[in-house]
Amino acid sequence: MKKILIVDDEPNIRILMEQTLEKLEDEGVELLVAEHGREALEIVEEEKPDLVFLDVMMPKMNGLDVCRTVKNEWGMTDIYIIMLTAKGQEFDKQKGIEVGANLYMTKPFRPKEVLAKSREILGL
């Protein structure tokens, strides 16, 4: 079973992401949710999701540190990480790519785009 982890400290964003991606549950995808970076790392270690949508600015551990830990320290390069953030300047995108993010998307995002990208990445 494929797994997608949604990591965001904003409840409204988590709900919107879940509603956007719940269509994939019928295609055998399990949705996992974390409210902050430390919780995200626990879930990544335990569940090994295929795809992670990761906010940058969060309490307890920011998304850049989470991405750096997963990709560089743990060597989990097969996990596809999409930074999903309001910080859309080139400098911010560069930082995301440097720590190992596969893709950088800015908020507000288009739900159809998120769904299409998820299907593409998971091979659905």
Looking up residue 101, the CATH number of its domain turns out to be: 3.40.50.2300
pLDDT at 91: 84
- Using the predicted structure, report yes or no on whether residue 47 has a pLDDT greater than 90: yes
Cα–Cα dist 64/119, whole Å: 24
| Residue 29 · residue 21 · CB < 8 Å | yes
Sign of CA dihedral 101, 105, 110, 113: negative
**Predicted TM-score (pTM) of this structure:** 0.95
Band (pLDDT 50/70/90 cuts) for residue 120 is: very high
How many domains is the chain built from? 1
pLDDT at residue 107, as a whole number: 87
- Domain range enclosing 75: 2-122
- Pairwise CA distance, residues 19 & 99, whole Å: 28
Q: What is the pLDDT averaged over residues 54-81?
A: 96
Average pLDDT for 72-96: 90
